[in-house]
């Protein structure tokens, strides 16, 4: 009986550790996490031509990849948006997506 209980605890703790690793690791090695407040400051470079309505109904991930595409020169005819880092893009996407809510 005692042995079974210990095993159950070990299993539960194992799960917890795994869950926190999954959360902490969620953004590691991938895209930086977007900060909507920072994005709000940076969006002024785009609001001459865009408003949040341009991105209505799009998820943060969709907006992120659309901006990446623009920044990489993948959208023919788009004006040069200059140097935007992955962090800038993540921030802009977070801000634009939050305006959708
Ligand atoms: C001088 C005007 C102008 C500025 C400044 C501008 N854009 Fe654009 N952008 C456009 C035009 C025009 C389009 C094409 C719209 C269309 O296809 O309906 C576009 C399209 C886009 C698209 C959609 C591309 C696609 O996949 O179809 C994204 C994303 C975008 N812009 C992001 C940005 C971001 C982010 C900034 C600021 C860093 C920015 N734009 C600044 C004019 C501008």
Predicted model pTM: 0.76
Residue 97 CB neighbours (<10 A): 21
Which pLDDT belongs to residue 75?
95
Report the pLDDT value the prediction gives residue 6, as an integer from 0 to 100.
Answer: 54
| Choice from 49, 74, 84, 100 to test ligand 1 binding pocket (greatest atom count within 8 A of CB) | 49
What pLDDT is attached to residue 38? Answer: 97
Q: What are phi and psi of 94, to 5 degrees?
A: -65, -40
Query: 42, 92 in Cβ contact below 8 A?
Result: yes
Q: What is the DSSP letter of 34?
A: P
Residues of the chain with pLDDT under 70: 1-31, 101
Which residue has the CA at smallest separation from atom 36 of ligand 1?
46
Q: How confident is the model at residue 4, as a pLDDT? A: 56
Distance CA 86, CA 16 (A): 31
Centroid of ligand 1 to alpha carbon of 26 (angstroms): 29
Q: What is the pLDDT of residue 1?
A: 60
pLDDT at 2: 63
């Amino acid at each position: 009986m005692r042995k079974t209980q210990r095993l159950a605890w070990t299993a539960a703790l194992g799960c917890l550790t795994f869950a926190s690793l999954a959360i902490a690791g969620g953004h590691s090695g991938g895209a930086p996490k977007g900060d909507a407040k920072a994005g709000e400051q940076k969006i002024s470079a785009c609001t001459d031509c865009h408003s949040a309505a341009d991105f209505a109904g799009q998820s943060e991930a969709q907006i992120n990849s659309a901006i990446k595409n623009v920044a990489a020169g993948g959208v023919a005819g788009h004006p040069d948006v200059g140097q935007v880092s992955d962090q800038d893009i993540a921030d802009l996407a977070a801000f634009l997506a939050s305006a959708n809510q």
